[in-house]
Structure 1
């Protein structure tokens, strides 16, 4: 049974039984606490927890998921994958335990001819929460399972909650017995490799209180009990296809086979190679699916996870003996295996492949440069006699260069060294702790989402801002410090929930509106407007006067200048995006945007800098569209209808069944967008592209000023040009040549000055060398030479003096004032080093006296500090060290 057939049978079975078939949500989660959709129930959490009223009583889906917590187990077990698909059926206060168990048993055990999965009843076991007698009775009644195939397990495996106060309840898991060849008898409680969990039924029936781990109070039963189930599609697939693990199913195996072919290794011959091929197959598929949902490789967030998956793939290919690029073969194999279930990976493959190849090329260069750094670190460690690479070196390689720690370990072991893994892990933990603290700080301004449940239950916030800048409304709720309150007074910061609002909430790259909320006896300054949960708008305000209370009438007032600037900027973003695609082609796809009054920023998929001519062409096309005074048409329509018209759905955006389409100049610019826009393109005024920069190996960023801000910037440039033409007495059109001439003259003058200074220094060499004296067994020069322009000049002087003194044991230590700071450079010749004089050690001694640091090689080294008055003492310290 092919994976796509399992997918189809699932949706057909539950769709025929009154479940609304819900398409898979994006892998990029709406939940601000999650990077990715990590389970099939994630898109339904607002309905399951009661935060948002469910739009249907029962639903079913096959949800794409990404989970990387067990990434180190990928390839080692039959069931761990970073990308997986979760079949789910959900009930929101509709059917409960009996219905869930009945559906599960019927679908599993019905014949394939009847649309079921055709499992034999004798091969299925179930586990239940140890105190859930009701579930045990139902399994006996519905499935006729004997006691020995129903096992009671503890809370850690068979009880579900979010870990916070809220819904909770027992669960029941269904396992398939693979037979005695895979492990000991005795059921799921004894051997997890023989008994494969294929389906988990969660019975949300209780309200839990505060507590940690297993210790929390049950406050009572939920007024509406919910069902959340999840069947692992890949697990069922490998069982039904008669293969050993999820990496060998029809959607994954082709990549594994390509990895074997490229490497010349045979799958099934060597265990370590098998694990590497499975890692490659899993990670290529995961990367393909992430990029199809708009994730691009980067150093933060979801992009970092994607980059890690792709680099682990390169690493695994390297361990298979393949140093050359391989993504050009691996990704098409995954595309062909997945496009039947997810057609978008085929239609968008050119962009995906370009991202993949660019990332692979970048990492192969990283490996080359990182290997050089690591080789140098290994050499220094060996020369010092140590047996362990410093943790700061391994962390630098990992954090800055993206060099995998296991590759560092391998190279170190080949050199007879170890790495300080505990210290490395401590540095990684410190970094993660800082990142989590930063994330908490960024989220601190928004109240805990659970507090919004009572307000969302009253209905969706009506946004009137497309038509009106002023709207009369009623205050439904106030939140202060995360708690619902009845009133807020002057000086307090609060979140305000209104029935209607004309204030735009930040979304789609557009910053929230500025404005005020006023009512009888109070005025509120709007600091931010957000959508904390789907369908609800929250206004973060400061009470500037009076007292505001729940139930009061209020009027939202949008700052007209701000909104005008924001609409100009957002419409300009659409024009720049369309101009980019006209000039560069459809591969230049928007990958993120930000706009506010007077400013727009657009990130787009591209891996090379734009020439000045290309940048100017894009800017001119956009401004010509402004001049054409094109109508900006907005329409509300069904999502499928919008896509059939060619409207672009931008990555990172979430769309419902009904969408808003913004059209500028017909099909030239046609996008799904909920932002605010001008009525005609001429209202944008002026678009001034001010920069085009890199934001990663596969993305560029273009920034523009818009409207009045664009005019002001050009006026400022005009003033600068006017001043230059006046001061240089040169017409504007000749300024570039005149400035180039002045720069060339300046460089020539600087070169001549440097030559004079070098000659002057050379003339000092004989007199400095003449001051040499015997100290112990060496000839020592120790002198303060005054002020020099740079440390390089001082170094050249030291080396010249050393050469002049010949082959006798020589130590030269010269100090100087370099740009107001003391510097000392020490040089030794081979005869002095043979006698034990080391330049690095001597420079370190001098630097300590100067109040700084220093060191270097045995033949030449440098030190510095902050105390110019200590130069004499520093040179005396060197003399004392040489004579010791």
Structure 2
């Protein structure tokens, strides 16, 4: 029996739910608090802190269908996607997990029962691989499951040993493979598991036995509670159950290929001719899910990867003859196929389409510009007598304009050139290294592994800052640089860990608290508070007086006035979020925020600048809630209940099963761990101060509240007062006076323009006398006085009207730059004169460029000292054109 991909997903989840596993929703593709990870790329990502012991869940068994993206870097080379039957950027990973509950025996038995009893795969076609010396797994497969010894293969560390990193949890794996038949064997001398990587031997499930902890020396010690992490690609198992040769032929992806067939008018083939179809189908899934999860096209990080994926698909659309924005039209197909399993893509359908369409339109413009740049690069290489396009130039095309290497090679080949692939790859590797380095997360020199180890020793910090701004506590650790010390002296910068703290650690956009920690006469000034390893509050400060020692009893006191100012701004972001939705539409979603004592910054999804009316409407809506004095209440509840009640979950935030809900009357309800005012009236006043775009479909607002808003208003008033004094009018008369002055300026501009026109006429009469005759054509080349390019063109028009049969080039130096205009009469053009070529050569001599029509052209240069040389070069071009 053949199952649909959706049925396979549900059957997997149902099976494990029936066996005591909690079905956990897929986490966002944007990992929270994990700087080592660009995207969620495995089912275990959302349970990483559980496996490390940093987080407790109300269950010890879980199952998920996790959306994943692997694009670029060590996990997936984009160029392989679509070339093979299995490579994807977006895919779904089915998994079951045990957190110190069951281990190898149950994990293997569950997997075998699901594959053979539920999915009905033939037992005689299934093989198991184990780690070389994993006798326990070997015994289970042989004795419990009954797999013949010849179908249990031992492989080395590369294939069958998993680790979370250089240190930490690790353990052997057991993979389950299926023999898809002799007809799919490869040409290798020995086509066998572990010897080749062909489609005959298909790995369908990987069972990871997390049983050791590896330290810095490489020593592995048994974990007290071994755990299980498994992963089975939905697309891969579906291809087996539907008996098709490629993931792209399953009903999870094939409908998108069919849609592209209709768009392009071309038929899909399963060989290399179908490569563009597969790229587009894969990439539109990635784009849909990434944008839904809050990623927008950009020039850095996740936004850059999304942009590359989208532009790569557009490029292959061009290969199929689709020379218009089209990717956005495939999004409804993705929604139809996957919207039931992931309702968020259905909710964001319109928004996703808008973002993709805008980016496609921009890329079509960029691609046109890129072709121009590529042509210039090729011409320069040929002019230098070389036959190789430098790799770094090819990479610049790739990096800036989205040109894949094969497109650069096509352009080069058309011009009898080759591309320096080694140079291209070197530039690519340098960029990857920069990206990797940028993702390294450090706090004052100490990396994540350092804080994770400290957390494992000290445990979580108890936060009491919701209830009080002061607490009696004990110093658990003092860190100086990257070293744990037992004491620190006055003048030293330190990071302090307490067992309990009222200090809020930076999280959810809210900046960390400041204040003081005292122990007798010892005073530590805390300048920031960070959260490390999930739950460890790190107080960063300077010892101003005395000596601090581990174990000291201390008093931790938050700067109350600063905390209150931060709370006002944080509560205002909740009201702002709601007001934006009411004013602009439900598509508005928070995409990031920063909450400080003197301002707030709020990023949100929207496609155009706010109009003056929208700006005022948002401000008015927020301030109306302040006047309404809404009570601000917080409540701990389950994530499921909070969502059912309508609470808004924010982009980029990680939520456990228990969440904190912040409600402001009936106006706003959001999941939030930050600190807030007790009533909205305590915010005082809300004032927007700035708005702008920061990416495709992404806007940024800045605002101030409370005393910061009052200071802003006072500053604005002082500006108007100063202006009124300078204009010698009352403050309420400034607008009228400015309007009057602007009218005076307009009148003066017209007078100046008239005077310049008269001056130009006087210059024209003088210049005509300087012309010389070449082959019956009057040639005029001169430097003149002109305030701008418009005036220079006007002078050229006047000369052209009086010169008879003639050609002219004028130069003027404006703001230390050269303006050039060339013009030719119709009969001069018929004799071979071309103004565009004349001005182009003059501009080259003056250190610039430009061109235009045969009868009129303009250009610019950066070297005013070469004006006369440029005019001389222009005269020579004219003589050459006239054959003189």
* Pair 1:257 & 2:264 matched: no
The equivalent of 1:181 in structure 2 is 183
Contact kept, 8 Å, 1:86 with 1:232, in 2: the verdict is: yes
Question: How far apart in 1 are the matches of 2:586 and 2:669?
Answer: 13
* Pair 1:66 & 2:69 matched: yes
Question: How far apart in 2 are the matches of 1:369 and 1:289?
Answer: 24
The equivalent of 2:690 in structure 1 is 691
The equivalent of 2:745 in structure 1 is 746
| Range 537-546 or range 381-390, more displaced | 381-390
Question: How far apart in 2 are the matches of 1:481 and 1:766?
Answer: 78
The equivalent of 1:288 in structure 2 is 288
Post-superposition offset of 1:842: 6.3
Question: How far apart in 2 are the matches of 1:275 and 1:872?
Answer: 57
Contact kept, 8 Å, 1:828 with 1:838, in 2: the verdict is: no
Aligned with 1:87 (options 94, 117, 122): 94
Question: How far apart in 2 are the matches of 1:325 and 1:78?
Answer: 27
Q: How does 1:650-689 map to 2 (within 5 A)?
A: 650-666=650-666, 668-689=667-688
Post-superposition offset of 1:699: 2.5
Post-superposition offset of 1:53: 6.5
The equivalent of 1:279 in structure 2 is 279
Q: How does 1:182-201 map to 2 (within 5 A)?
A: 182-184=184-186, 185-201=191-207
* Pair 1:331 & 2:331 matched: yes
* Pair 1:118 & 2:120 matched: yes
Q: 1:370 to 1:57 in 2, by over 3 A?
A: closer
Cα shift readout 1:450-508 (whole Å, capped 9, x = no counterpart): 43334345443221111211111111122222333322333333222111111111122
Cα shift readout 1:317-369 (whole Å, capped 9, x = no counterpart): 333333344456422222222133223333x1xx3322323422441343045
The equivalent of 2:494 in structure 1 is 494
Contact kept, 8 Å, 2:684 with 2:706, in 1: the verdict is: yes
Question: How far apart in 2 are the matches of 1:297 and 1:815?
Answer: 43
| Partner SS state of residue 570, structure 2 | helix
The equivalent of 1:864 in structure 2 is 862
Cα shift readout 1:158-208 (whole Å, capped 9, x = no counterpart): 222244233333322211111012114533523431111111122334444
Q: How does 1:622-633 map to 2 (within 5 A)?
A: 622-633=622-633
Question: How far apart in 1 are the matches of 2:792 and 2:328?
Answer: 53
Post-superposition offset of 1:538: 1.8
Contact kept, 8 Å, 2:833 with 2:878, in 1: the verdict is: no
| Range 391-400 or range 481-490, more displaced | 391-400
Contact kept, 8 Å, 1:842 with 1:881, in 2: the verdict is: no
Uncovered stretches (5+) of structure 2, i.e. residues with no partner: none
Contact kept, 8 Å, 1:798 with 1:825, in 2: the verdict is: no
Cα shift readout 1:129-179 (whole Å, capped 9, x = no counterpart): 344455434432333333432333333222222442333333222111110
| Partner SS state of residue 701, structure 1 | strand
Q: How does 1:325-474 map to 2 (within 5 A)?
A: 325-327=325-327, 329-346=329-346, 348=347, 351-368=348-365, 370-371=367-368, 374-375=371-372, 378=375, 381=378, 398-400=398-400, 402=402, 425-440=425-440, 447-456=447-456, 458-474=458-474
Q: How does 1:745-784 map to 2 (within 5 A)?
A: 745-765=744-764, 767=766
Question: How far apart in 1 are the matches of 2:427 and 2:197?
Answer: 36
Question: How far apart in 1 are the matches of 2:848 and 2:297?
Answer: 39
Post-superposition offset of 1:658: 1.4
Q: How does 1:460-539 map to 2 (within 5 A)?
A: 460-539=460-539
Question: How far apart in 1 are the matches of 2:405 and 2:735?
Answer: 50
Uncovered stretches (5+) of structure 1, i.e. residues with no partner: 211-215, 848-852
The equivalent of 1:46 in structure 2 is 49
Cα shift readout 1:505-554 (whole Å, capped 9, x = no counterpart): 11222111222222234222223222222232222222222222221112
The equivalent of 1:850 in structure 2 is none
Question: How far apart in 2 are the matches of 1:20 and 1:550?
Answer: 42
The equivalent of 2:142 in structure 1 is 140
Post-superposition offset of 1:790: 4.5
Contact kept, 8 Å, 1:27 with 1:64, in 2: the verdict is: yes
| Partner SS state of residue 122, structure 1 | helix
Aligned residues: 857
* Pair 1:6 & 2:5 matched: no
Cα shift readout 1:600-624 (whole Å, capped 9, x = no counterpart): 2222222122221121112112112
The equivalent of 2:130 in structure 1 is 128
Question: How far apart in 2 are the matches of 1:242 and 1:670?
Answer: 48
| Partner SS state of residue 581, structure 1 | helix
Contact kept, 8 Å, 1:40 with 1:62, in 2: the verdict is: yes
Question: How far apart in 2 are the matches of 1:174 and 1:204?
Answer: 17
The equivalent of 1:240 in structure 2 is 241
Question: How far apart in 1 are the matches of 2:254 and 2:677?
Answer: 51
| Range 37-46 or range 746-755, more displaced | 746-755
Contact kept, 8 Å, 1:374 with 1:408, in 2: the verdict is: no
The equivalent of 1:213 in structure 2 is none
The equivalent of 2:232 in structure 1 is 231
Contact kept, 8 Å, 2:44 with 2:229, in 1: the verdict is: yes
Contact kept, 8 Å, 2:460 with 2:535, in 1: the verdict is: yes
Q: 1:782 to 1:436 in 2, by over 3 A?
A: farther
Question: How far apart in 2 are the matches of 1:825 and 1:368?
Answer: 28
Post-superposition offset of 1:883: 13
| Partner SS state of residue 244, structure 2 | coil
Question: How far apart in 2 are the matches of 1:703 and 1:254?
Answer: 44
Question: How far apart in 2 are the matches of 1:696 and 1:374?
Answer: 24
The equivalent of 1:153 in structure 2 is 155
| Partner SS state of residue 695, structure 1 | strand
Q: 1:441 to 1:32 in 2, by over 3 A?
A: closer
Contact kept, 8 Å, 2:41 with 2:70, in 1: the verdict is: yes
* Pair 1:100 & 2:107 matched: yes
Contact kept, 8 Å, 2:378 with 2:412, in 1: the verdict is: no
| Partner SS state of residue 49, structure 2 | helix
| Partner SS state of residue 41, structure 1 | helix
Q: 1:405 to 1:685 in 2, by over 3 A?
A: farther
Contact kept, 8 Å, 2:36 with 2:441, in 1: the verdict is: no
RMSD: 4.1
* Pair 1:648 & 2:654 matched: no
Question: How far apart in 1 are the matches of 2:377 and 2:655?
Answer: 56
TM-score (norm 1): 0.85
Contact kept, 8 Å, 1:455 with 1:476, in 2: the verdict is: no
Contact kept, 8 Å, 1:447 with 1:479, in 2: the verdict is: no
Post-superposition offset of 1:566: 0.8
Question: How far apart in 1 are the matches of 2:414 and 2:803?
Answer: 44
Cα shift readout 1:406-457 (whole Å, capped 9, x = no counterpart): 5566667678776665555555544444444444487665533343334345
Question: How far apart in 1 are the matches of 2:220 and 2:377?
Answer: 63
Contact kept, 8 Å, 1:472 with 1:555, in 2: the verdict is: yes
Post-superposition offset of 1:743: 2.0
